[in-house]
Amino acid sequence: MQERTEIVDFPHVYYVGSGKPRGNGRSTFSYDDERGDYIVIPHDHLIYRYELLDVLGKGSFGQVQRARDHKTGDIVAIKIIRNRKRFHHQAQVEVKLLECLRRWDPTGAHNILQMTDSFNFRNHLCIAPLLRHLSIQMIQSLQLLARHKIIHADLKPENILLAHPPPMPLRRAAPAGAAAPPPHPLANPQLSVDMQRGIYKIKVIDLGSSCFEMERVYTYIQSRFYRAPEVILGLQYGTGIDMWSLGCIVAELLTGYPLFPGENEREQLACIIEVLGPPPAYMIEQAPRCSDFAEPPYTNSKGKRRRPGSRPLVQVLARARDPRLVDFVMRALAWDPAVRMMPDEALRPGRGSRQVSFSGR
């Protein structure tokens, strides 16, 4: 009955859905579940145009659905935001950023997801849109963001898709309770060959946590394994936190394992200190949260103790067989964001990032 009155508000109708009845939801005309997530019925429609096919992913923000655009015939990914005020506000920020990036990079040369459309439907905001080769593309993405003072704030393997063949994350999220993340697609030798030939391109996705540098809102940002030390310590942060995340990602893609796998923020900082040694004294002195991390020992729930500098990066990346790679990651993982390598420097002719060999996998 609701659709009979709703459909007259749409000037164009391309698809009306499968006609399957909805279950007994508890809010908003039975369209939402208890969390405020849109209840998806396979082959139902969005705005009488998109046919919902299957789920691509879920998160705290809501869900991403694979859909068919019955106006163009294209297969698209649609991000459906939870029907909650705080998620809706952040999604509006994401749409604003994506619209800016589409203007600044109309050809997609900087490898950031291109948004094709955004719309509100039933109170939900919706957004439709080797290693050397890969890392250069990621740096190009960060170069565009940094140039316009945009912080991605959630760069991680799951948010970097391989665009050819059809997009897939560099590493799928580990199942709950899993001891280690599953192997990522780059473990496939044929994929590595194709990557070296330049067949594969990447897309950086999910600006749901992003912001302009002058409009920082959150202090708790970035996925833990890729969280920059200035964020952990409560210091001021900027676009340099994305370069830190990239350094972690490149190291992970080389070894197959997260570089800093802390089980909480305390151990996260201990993991960083274990590899890079202690942070500069002036960072600790200025850090609002330094007291949270001051007390040793750095021991996790399994009894593993992490000692400062006991696992140096040169040792962690020993299989790389190329000191230029270690140099690149080390510069991206400088404690102080003021001296950390930034995208323009990484792409400058003659820099090691353009000459790094990833053949050590």
Q: Give me the sign of the Cα torsion angle 67, 68, 74, 78.
A: negative
Q: Of 159, 209, 45, 123, whose CA–CA distance to 53 is shortest?
A: 45
Q: Of 328, 326, 356, whose CA–CA distance to 343 is shortest?
A: 328
3-class state of residue 155 by DSSP: coil
Give every CB contact of residue 140 below 8 A, 6+ residues apart in sequence.
Answer: 109, 110, 111, 343, 347
Place of tokens 């942070």: 279
Q: Is 154 a catalytic residue?
A: yes
The answer to whether the annotation marks 79 as part of a ligand binding site is yes
Continuous H helices in the chain: 2-6, 85-104, 132-147, 189-196, 229-232, 240-255, 265-276, 281-286, 313-316, 323-332, 343-346
Given 32, 37, 44, 154, the catalytic residue: 154
At position 203, the amino acid (one-letter code) is K
How are the residues of the chain apportioned to helix, strand and coil, as percentages rounded to the nearest 5? 35, 15, 50
C-alpha 265: how far from chain center: 19
**Euclidean distance between CA atoms 113 and 54, whole angstroms:** 20
The CA-CA-CA angle for residues 4, 43, 85, to 5°, reads 70
As given in the structure block, the two tokens for residue 70 are: 């019955």
Angle between helices 323-332 and 240-255 (to 10 degrees): 140
The DSSP string of 266-335 is HHHHHHHHHHH-SPPHHHHHH-TTGGGG-SPP-B-TT--B--TTSS-HHHHTGGG--HHHHHHHHHHT-S
Give every CB contact of residue 96 below 8 A, 6+ residues apart in sequence.
Answer: none
Annotated binding site for ATP: 79
Annotated binding site: 79
Which residues are annotated as catalytic? Answer: 154
